[in-house]
Structure 1
Amino acid sequence: MRRISRRRLLGGAVLLGAGATGLTSLTACGNGGGSGSGSGSNLRFAWWGNPDRDRRTQAAVDQFVARADRGVDTEPSNWDDYWSRLATQISGGNPPDLMQMDYQYIAEYAGRGALLELDDYVPDPLDLSAVPEEAVENGRIGGTLYGITMGYNTFAMMKNLQVIRDAGVDEPDHTLTWSEFAELCREIGNNTPSGVFGTQNAMGSKETLECWLHQRGKALFTADGQLGYDPADLEEWFEFWQELAETGGAVDMETTSEALPDLSDWEVPSGRGAFNFHWSNIYPAFVDVSADEIGIGMYPQGDGAGAQPGQYYKASMLLSIPSAADDPDAAAELLQALVLDAEIAAELGFERGVPSSEEVREVLRPDASDEELASLEYVEFVEDKVGEVPPPPPEAAGRLDDQLIFFAEEAGFGRMSIPDAVDAYFQEATNILG
C-alpha cells in the first residue's frame, strides 16, 4: 500500500481550509427571514471552510446585506462536499452567483467556460490598485481575469529558535543558500542530542521542490500541463536530501513516514528539529502548538549568481463568478465588498491568508495578534524577492503529488536506487498527464 506522508495529509488540509464543518447550508438574509431584504431574489454565495471561516464570512456578508439593497443566501460546506456540489450545480445550470475558487482548479473551470470574465468589472466596481500585481495574476488564465484573490501567502520556513540556540549557531536570514542550509543542518544535528535534527526531510515535498526548481528557471508544470523539469533535476533533489539524512542533518525517511499527521508532531513544534517548510499563513498555527519560540523566514536561496527568485505570491483562495450566474453585476458588488471594502473585508481577518487589499491590511494591523503581525510583515518583506506566479497545475496534479511522495520514500528507504525511483516517477507522470 502506498503511504501518504503527514505533510501531504496535513499540508493540503490546512492550506485549502478542509475539514468537516457539520454545515451543509446556512441562509443569511438582511431581515433574518428566508427571502432577505431589498429588491430581486437573493444572491447565492458558496465557499468551503471551517467553523471559524464560516463565522467570519457570515459577519462580512451580514454587513453587506445591511447596507445593500439585496439579500444573500450563504452556502458553506467542507472541502470535499463543496466541489462535488458545485460540479452538480454548474452542470445543472444552477450555480451560486459568487463562489470561492482554488488556484488548483481555476484553469480547469475557466477552460470549460464555467467562469465569467471579470476584466469588464475592472476598475468599477473592482478597483485592484491596492492589490499587488503578483496577487492579481493568480486569477488570470491566458491573460483573462477569472478570479480575484481574497488572500495570499508565500513559502515560509518555520524555525525553532530554541533548537537553533541550543546548537550554538546563529539564526539564518533570507540570504541563506541551499548549500549553506545543508551545512547548517548538519551542524545543528551534530550539536544537539540524539533525535534532534536540523530539518524535516523534504525529499517528497512538492512545495519545497517547486521553490528549488523556480530558482533554476524551471517549474513543476508547464502552461500546457506537462512536467516543467527533467529527470536530472529530480535526481539531484533526491540526492540532496538523501545525503542530508545520512549525515544527520535531516530526519531519516523511516521517522518521516511514520510520524503522526498532527502539526504538533512536526519537527519544529515538537522540538525535534530546527526547520520545517510550509506556507506563511500557517505560521500562527505553528506558534499555537509549540512550546518554544518560533521564527519565520524564506526558503533557502539558489546557489550561484544566476539563481532566480524561488518564491511567489500564491492565492490562498479566490472569488469567481460563474458564467451562468443569475445576477453577475450584483455578484461583482458582493465580491468587491468581501475583498476590497476595508470595513467589510476586515471581518474576514487573516483566516484566508494576508488580505489582498493594502487598505484592508492597514485596518487589521493595529489589532493583529503577534503571530498574525509576524506573518503579515514577513509577506510584505518578501514583496521585492518573489518571482512570477507559475502556471496553474493540471487537473491530475494531486495524483502526481502522491506519486512524488511514494517514490521519494522508495528511494529514501533504499527499496529503489535514486535513478530507478526517478525514472519510475517520470513514467508514472507521463501516463497520468497523457
Structure 2
Amino acid sequence: MTFRMPRRQFLMGTSALAAAGAFGLRPAFAQDEALRLIWWGGQARADRTLAVADAYAASTGTTPPEGEFLSWNDYWPKLATQVAGGTAPDVLQMDYRFIVEYATRNAIAPMDDYLGGVLNLDDFDEDQLEGGKVDGKLYGLSLGANSVAMLVNTTAFEEAGVAVPDRDWTYDTMREIGEAFKAANIRGGMTGMSDGSGSEPMLDNWIRQRGKPLYTAEGKLGPNVDDMVEWFTMWNEFRDAGYINSAEDQALDTGAAEVSMVALNKAAMIPSNSNQLVIHQSINPDTLTITSYPRIAAGVGGGHYRKPSQFWSISGASQNKEAAAAFLSYFVNDVEAGKVLGVERGIPCSAAVRDAVAPTLSEQDQIALNFVANLGDLLGPLPASPPNAAGEIDTSLLRVLSQEVGFGGRSAEDAGKFFVDEATAILNRAS
C-alpha cells in the first residue's frame, strides 16, 4: 500500500498513518520523496518551520519537506504509534526526557557519521551538543538553549494591583500573591497561578533546590516519599486556599498554548519555558513576560539550568538519513533561517546565528534571550539525561496523580508514597 501525504497537510489527532499502523499496514515511501517532519507546537511554530523548509528547498533545488504538528499531549502517543508501525517521519522533534528511551530502542539514529560532512556543527555550543548525546553518540540536535520559566500576565497583575514577581520570589511569595488575587477578584476569579503539582519541570526545579536530582546519573529516582508527600501537600494547601486553579479548571489545559490557564484567563501565571513566551504572546492580547520559578526559601538557588529546549532527531527507520542531516545542518546554521526562527525554540546554539539574530529580535524574544543569559545564582549544572521511561513517569504517573489529588481521589500522603513506589518500579522494568 502506498500512502502519499499532500503538501502542507497538517494532521491533528488521529491520522491515516496511525490508523494504518494500527491495522498492520506499512505505507511504503519512495526514497526520492520529500523529507517528512513532525513536531509539537502551535501554528506560529509551524509557520516558522515551514518557511525555513521552503527556503531550504529553494536553496538546494529539492522538494520542500512536508510537515505535521500536534499539541504536546497529542504528539507523544501519535509519534509512538508511528514508530511502532514503521511510519515515523524522517525528522522528529525530540525532548530531553525522552531521548534516551528513543535512542536505546533505535527509534532515532545517531548522526555522528554525518559530522564534518553534510552536518556542520563547528560553532555549535558544546553544552548543547553534549545534551543531545546518548552513550557518547549524537542522537539529538538542540534547537535552542532555554530554561524553565514562569510565564506571567503583567496586565492581570496590574489589574489586581500586585507587583510582578522578580527573580528573588519564593513559594511564600506565592501565598501572598494568591491572597492578593483572591481579594482583587479580577476576571471572574482569576487565580495568581495555575496548579503546578503535575508539572515535571516544576518538581525537578523544586527538588534540585533541596539538593537532590529528580533522577540520579545511575537512572534512579531522586526524591523520597517524604519529599513527594510534602510536594503534594503544598499544592493541596494552595488549592484549598484558592491560590491556584481548581482541578476542574486545570483539566482544561491539554498542553496547547491556546488552552493554557493564562490563555483561558484562569490564572495569571503558569510554569513554562523561556522560549514559550513568544507563542503565548502571539495568542494573548495582554502583555506577558517571564520570571524564574519560585525559590524554596530566600537565597536558595541552583534549581534552573540551561537545557536543550528540544531536539531534531533522525528517525531510525528513515531511508533518507543523509538528506535529513543536510536539512538539519541548514536549519541550525543558516543565518537567514535563524532570523525566521528567532528564539521561539530557544536561544540559537550556533554562535554565528546567535550574533546575527540578536539585533533583529522582538521585545518578547529579547526578554527570553536576556532571561536565559542572566540566571545568576538560580543556575545549576545540567543534570544527566533522564533515564529510559522518565517520560512515562511524567505523563502516566505524575500528571495522573496530580489530577487524582486535585479531585480528591487520593490524599497527599497516599500520592507521595504511590509516586515513589510506582516510579521506582517503572524505572526498574525499563532498566
Change beyond 3 A, Cα 1:81–1:250: closer
How far apart, in 2, do the equivalents of 1:23 and 1:357 lie? 37
Which one is further off, 253-262 or 417-426? Answer: 253-262
Change beyond 3 A, Cα 1:127–1:248: same
Query: Aligned-pair distance for 1:277?
Result: 1.2
Q: TM-score, normalised by structure 1?
A: 0.75
How far apart, in 2, do the equivalents of 1:192 and 1:418 lie? 28
Partner of residue 76 from structure 1, selected from 48, 67, 70: 67
Partner of residue 422 from structure 2, selected from 425, 428, 433: 428
Which one is further off, 416-425 or 348-357? Answer: 348-357
Query: Aligned-pair distance for 1:157?
Result: 0.8
Question: Do 2:98 and 2:391's aligned partners in 1 also have CA atoms closer than 8 Å?
Answer: no
Change beyond 3 A, Cα 1:114–1:383: farther
Question: Do 1:219 and 1:229's aligned partners in 2 also have CA atoms closer than 8 Å?
Answer: yes
Change beyond 3 A, Cα 1:148–1:377: same
Aligned to 2:135: 142
Which one is further off, 228-237 or 165-174? Answer: 165-174
Query: Aligned-pair distance for 1:20?
Result: 5.2
Q: TM-score, normalised by structure 2?
A: 0.75
Query: Aligned-pair distance for 1:249?
Result: 2.6
Q: Are 1:217 and 2:211 matched, yes or no?
A: yes
Q: SS of the residue aligned with 2:271?
A: strand
Which one is further off, 152-161 or 356-365? Answer: 356-365
Question: Do 1:151 and 1:352's aligned partners in 2 also have CA atoms closer than 8 Å?
Answer: yes
RMSD: 3.9
Q: SS of the residue aligned with 1:273?
A: coil
Change beyond 3 A, Cα 1:268–1:83: closer
How far apart, in 2, do the equivalents of 1:23 and 1:48 lie? 17
How far apart, in 1, do the equivalents of 2:181 and 2:315 lie? 51
- Counterpart mapping for 1:239-254 below 5 A: 239-254=233-248
| 1:49-92 deviation line (CA, Å, top 9, x unaligned) | 56655554444344444544x745734334455543344448xx
Q: Are 1:227 and 2:221 matched, yes or no?
A: yes
Letter in 2 for 1:85: Q
Aligned to 1:107: 100
Q: Are 1:46 and 2:37 matched, yes or no?
A: yes
- Counterpart mapping for 1:89-104 below 5 A: 89=86, 99-104=92-97
How far apart, in 2, do the equivalents of 1:243 and 1:102 lie? 32
Q: SS of the residue aligned with 1:47?
A: strand
Query: Aligned-pair distance for 1:338?
Result: 1.4
Letter in 1 for 2:203: L
Question: Do 2:112 and 2:138's aligned partners in 1 also have CA atoms closer than 8 Å?
Answer: yes
| 1:129-172 deviation line (CA, Å, top 9, x unaligned) | 64444422320123332221123432121222233234433222
Aligned to 2:28: none
Which one is further off, 138-147 or 162-171? Answer: 162-171
- Counterpart mapping for 1:27-426 below 5 A: 44=35, 46-48=37-39, 53=45, 56-68=48-60, 71=62, 74-78=65-69, 79=75, 81-89=78-86, 99-113=92-106, 115-119=108-112, 128=121, 130-192=123-185, 195-257=189-251, 263=257, 266-303=260-297, 307-321=300-314, 331-382=324-375, 385-387=378-380, 388-395=382-389, 397-398=391-392, 400-426=394-420
Question: Do 2:52 and 2:337's aligned partners in 1 also have CA atoms closer than 8 Å?
Answer: yes
| 1:387-426 deviation line (CA, Å, top 9, x unaligned) | 3144235336235433323333433444433212222333
Letter in 2 for 1:240: M
Question: Do 2:178 and 2:192's aligned partners in 1 also have CA atoms closer than 8 Å?
Answer: yes
Change beyond 3 A, Cα 1:88–1:183: same
Change beyond 3 A, Cα 1:383–1:337: farther
Letter in 2 for 1:60: V
Query: Aligned-pair distance for 1:178?
Result: 2.5
Q: SS of the residue aligned with 2:98?
A: helix
Letter in 1 for 2:39: W
How far apart, in 1, do the equivalents of 2:190 and 2:165 lie? 18
How far apart, in 2, do the equivalents of 1:337 and 1:384 lie? 35
Q: SS of the residue aligned with 1:423?
A: helix
Question: Do 1:41 and 1:71's aligned partners in 2 also have CA atoms closer than 8 Å?
Answer: no
Query: Aligned-pair distance for 1:296?
Result: 1.2
Task: List runs of 5+ in structure 2 lacking aligned partners.
Answer: 1-9, 18-30, 70-74
Change beyond 3 A, Cα 1:411–1:224: same
Q: Give the length in aligned residue pairs.
A: 399
